[in-house]
Structure 1
Amino acid sequence: MMKRCVGLFLGMLMSMSLLYAHPPKREMRGAWIATVANIDWPQKDVFDASEQQRQLIAILDTLMKNKINAVVFQVRPTADALYYSELEPWSHWITGVQGQSPNPYYDPLAFLIEEAHARCIDVHVWLNPYRVTNKMDTSILSRNHIFRHRPELFVEYGDKWYFDPGLDATRAFLNKVVADVVTRYDVDAIHFDDYFYPYKIKGKDFPDANTFKKYPRGFTDKEAWRRNNVDLVIAELQHTIKSIKPWVEFGISPFGVWRNKSNDPRGSDTQAGAQNYDDLYADILKWLEEGTIDYVAPQLYWEIGKKVADYEV
């Protein structure tokens, strides 16, 4: 997509090259469009496709006006799709009923890519890897949802359902979903946020004891095994993406603290209650060191001067 935009500024860049021996790198200035629970788009209970498109265009126009050059668009919030997919059903967040296509028909991801690229905005496609529902009730899931056909792949934790990260079949299915998106759409990046293993609930362990017992892969420490489960899928996804389109990036926007310095000298001078490494089993630092992700954009929601996690740390 960048190549299409460069032509618009070629004359300006040629002039600037006379002034700068080392022109600055292009910085990423991104914004999320969250679709789960209709946080950002579409507005709740707005199921008319034409109105949804109008809302998306308004968002993109605002982003362009504010010099945003990348949009992170959530297309798989709960093992569903805000795009045409033969693997997962249409999301109920866009149609009101999971499995029901937009009316009049359109493909929201294809539409957003076309409109964003026309404004020289990169599209980072945001998928949630493990979450299946936002609540315990599974009646919302369509008849063709994988949950209906492969119930052994899923576990319940904290009144929500998740893919079991310890299963090879979970990784294989996620790779298939990502490969499908990268193959069929002109995306600039694949993006995950902070939801790997779910945030811990006091007094309640994630229910993967049977999976660990059956498929330990040489591990005796369950927490190390959980981290390896996530390491494996991240490395596999990087390979999947690059084998299809080497220029497509893979980025993560994790919880803002990898580890507290009190737990690891490489950690940050924070006293965060949750840590990626220990609680979500996401070893962000390892992925950066090994090159299995292309960028990281930590979720730093804390103000300057906050005692437990100062923004400036």
Structure 2
Amino acid sequence: MAFRLNLDLRIIIFLLIFSNLLFSCSETIYPKREMRAVWIATVKNIDWPSRPGLSSEEQKNEFRKIISFHQLNGINAAIVQIRPAADAFYQSRLEPWSEWLTDQQGKAPDPYYDPLTFMIEECHDKGMEFHAWFNPYRAIVDIESNVTDSLHITNSLSEWFLTYGKNAYFDPGIPEVREYVTNIVADVVTRYDIDAVHFDDYFYPYKIYGEAFPDSASYKRYNPRQLDLDDWRRSNVDEIIVMLNNRIKSIKPHVKFGISPFGVWRNQDKDPNGSATQAGVTNYDDLYADVTKWLKNGWIDYVVPQLYWNIGFEKADYAVLIDWWEKNSYGKHLYIGHGAYKIDDSSNVEAWRDPKQLPSQLRLNKQYEHVKGSAYFSSKVLLNNPLGITDTLRNTFYRHPALIPQMPWIDSESPNPPKHLEVVPEESGVLLKWKPSGKDEHYYLIYRFEGKGKKAQDINNPANILSSVRAPINFYLDETAKKNKQYTYIVTAVDRLHNESKRSEVNSIKNKIRR
């Protein structure tokens, strides 16, 4: 009997050691597909431009530096706020230029350029997706100090707007308002080469204690089904989400539609389907955003819940919420919004003074099948690198590049592989050239392996990705190839939705050129 107990104990210890070894090994396994996004906020110049009224060249240089920095740290998508408050960071016939761009609402950049065209090109050149971030209903930030342009819609259609707290908002209950906002988004989708339309958590505004949102007139006028006030407000938000999704996909089917809601849908004490949290605000009850309904019905392509709390936080535990969202994403992409802005060695919350807090969240993410990546609020924080978090991303979690996850419900057909791969030694490196074999190539991936061989090489390991090239460019110079080293190269084609082709021919070379 004692022998049996000792044997069982040895087995248990072996299993524990083995499981720890597996966990340790898993730390070095990097996903080939993962969303790695950063929010770039423009309202009040949070992230860009650093201040209003910079020259056009200064604005461009700042944005270039921001995007280059994030690219070096493994970020593959920028979520850029292009419509903070019924204004525009782009040339619009519908709304005036933003005051946070030129220091005066309605004033164009001088010398003229279109910031949105510029930003999209910069992101695409760096291999990053561009998600156009709109605030649908905010119209004026701080009505006491804001000076609106004469063409601002609050001056021409004042009956559409409500004052709540210090801000002015579109009234979501007015059908013409929903049509107007949909037209704003459709205009951008039509004219610009964006990859996604993105909304954050601002639908109906966050409640102000003791002050009711003043929409009683539209509630009486536009409520044919005689819904109660809360259900009516939710139906208004549902309607614009459906309208937007249909309109976006009718214009450009490849453009994604994503929402970044507040991190709690409902508390369990209000709904058994809710999370085991005690949040003072929820999407469903306070912001009138029934996000799970949108996911279940396929009205949005991805969701980025803002889980801006630490692991173990009593009222809204990160670990509890990621588990809840994993079970309620309904097959759409789930990315986690991280509150990087809370990381601070002087924070009054101990968890956010711990440099291991965010890494622990990222490790927890990897335990969930449906978590496809992360987004960070906001850009400035990562640039400032508090507690070395950006170094940790670059050197550990984002050490190797990653493709953005596919969305097969939009498109699952891969492009044809490149043909006739040539590998030629040059004075400055190894030159790769290939021929495109179709019309769907958006970019090419270059894989490099040490040694020679026609055997199948592992293109599922992102450590073997050398670089990417934006189509229609069909050549690449490997300047990092070392003299007298044998290399094998493979090239694949990737389409707009990141469906990857089969591999090209395998081609090997020994780099004998002296440099």
Q: Flag whether TM exceeds 0.5 (same fold).
A: yes
Which of 195, 200, 204 is the equivalent residue of 1:193?
A: 200
2:58 paired residue number = 51
Unaligned stretches of 5+ residues in structure 1: 1-22
Q: Report the alpha carbon displacement of residue 268 of structure 1 after superposing the two structures with TM.
A: 1.1
Are 1:221 and 2:225 matched, yes or no?
A: no
Which of 109, 122, 140 is the equivalent residue of 1:115?
A: 122
Q: Report the alpha carbon displacement of residue 300 of structure 1 after superposing the two structures with TM.
A: 1.0
Flag as ranges the 4+ runs of structure 1 deviating above 6 A: none
Q: SS of 2:262's equivalent?
A: coil
Q: Report the alpha carbon displacement of residue 174 of structure 1 after superposing the two structures with TM.
A: 0.5
Q: Report the alpha carbon displacement of residue 298 of structure 1 after superposing the two structures with TM.
A: 0.7
Which of 245, 250, 253 is the equivalent residue of 1:246?
A: 253
Rounded to whole Å, the distance in 1 between the matches of 2:307 and 2:284 is 16
- State whether residues 252 and 297 of structure 1, in contact with CA within 8 Å, keep that contact through their aligned partners in structure 2: yes
1:102 paired residue number = 109
Rounded to whole Å, the distance in 2 between the matches of 1:160 and 1:79 is 12
Which of 25, 35, 43 is the equivalent residue of 2:42?
A: 35
Q: SS of 1:190's equivalent?
A: strand
Q: Deviations over 1:78-109 (max 9, x none)?
A: 00000000000000000000000011111111
Q: Deviations over 1:254-289 (max 9, x none)?
A: 111001111111111111000000000000010000
Rounded to whole Å, the distance in 1 between the matches of 2:208 and 2:52 is 31
Rounded to whole Å, the distance in 2 between the matches of 1:257 and 1:48 is 41
Rounded to whole Å, the distance in 1 between the matches of 2:97 and 2:52 is 15
1:304 paired residue number = 311
Pair member with larger Rg? 2
Q: Report the alpha carbon displacement of residue 24 of structure 1 after superposing the two structures with TM.
A: 6.3
Segment drifting more, 72-81 vs 129-138? 129-138
Rounded to whole Å, the distance in 1 between the matches of 2:287 and 2:213 is 11
Larger strand proportion of the pair = 2
Q: SS of 1:228's equivalent?
A: helix
Rounded to whole Å, the distance in 2 between the matches of 1:265 and 1:275 is 14
Rounded to whole Å, the distance in 1 between the matches of 2:103 and 2:143 is 18
Are 1:179 and 2:186 matched, yes or no?
A: yes
- State whether residues 52 and 99 of structure 2, in contact with CA within 8 Å, keep that contact through their aligned partners in structure 1: no
Partner amino acid, structure 1, of 2:133: W
1:67 paired residue number = 74
Q: SS of 2:226's equivalent?
A: coil
Q: Deviations over 1:163-215 (max 9, x none)?
A: 00000110110011011000000000000000000000111111000111111
Q: SS of 1:73's equivalent?
A: strand
Q: How many residues align?
A: 291
Rounded to whole Å, the distance in 2 between the matches of 1:220 and 1:185 is 39
Are 1:295 and 2:312 matched, yes or no?
A: no
- State whether residues 272 and 308 of structure 1, in contact with CA within 8 Å, keep that contact through their aligned partners in structure 2: yes
Are 1:133 and 2:140 matched, yes or no?
A: yes
Q: Report the alpha carbon displacement of residue 45 of structure 1 after superposing the two structures with TM.
A: 3.7
- RMSD between aligned alpha carbons? 1.3
| TM-score, normalization by structure 1 | 0.91
2:279 paired residue number = 272
Q: SS of 2:292's equivalent?
A: helix
Q: Report the alpha carbon displacement of residue 159 of structure 1 after superposing the two structures with TM.
A: 1.6
2:9 paired residue number = none
Rounded to whole Å, the distance in 1 between the matches of 2:224 and 2:83 is 29
Partner amino acid, structure 2, of 1:116: C
Partner amino acid, structure 2, of 1:39: I
Partner amino acid, structure 2, of 1:225: W
Q: SS of 1:29's equivalent?
A: strand
Are 1:124 and 2:131 matched, yes or no?
A: yes
Rounded to whole Å, the distance in 1 between the matches of 2:35 and 2:195 is 12
1:9 paired residue number = none
- State whether residues 165 and 229 of structure 1, in contact with CA within 8 Å, keep that contact through their aligned partners in structure 2: yes
CA distance 1:25–1:261, change in 2 (3 Å): farther
Which of 156, 166, 170 is the equivalent residue of 2:163?
A: 156
Rounded to whole Å, the distance in 1 between the matches of 2:227 and 2:303 is 30
Are 1:235 and 2:242 matched, yes or no?
A: yes
Rounded to whole Å, the distance in 2 between the matches of 1:157 and 1:219 is 25
Q: SS of 1:132's equivalent?
A: strand
Q: Deviations over 1:112-156 (max 9, x none)?
A: 100100011000000000001111237511011111111110010
Rounded to whole Å, the distance in 2 between the matches of 1:46 and 1:100 is 10
| TM-score, normalization by structure 2 | 0.56
Rounded to whole Å, the distance in 2 between the matches of 1:242 and 1:137 is 39
Which of 202, 205, 212 is the equivalent residue of 1:205?
A: 212
Rounded to whole Å, the distance in 2 between the matches of 1:142 and 1:213 is 32
Q: Report the alpha carbon displacement of residue 46 of structure 1 after superposing the two structures with TM.
A: 4.5
- State whether residues 140 and 146 of structure 2, in contact with CA within 8 Å, keep that contact through their aligned partners in structure 1: no
Rounded to whole Å, the distance in 2 between the matches of 1:256 and 1:139 is 30
Rounded to whole Å, the distance in 1 between the matches of 2:149 and 2:135 is 18
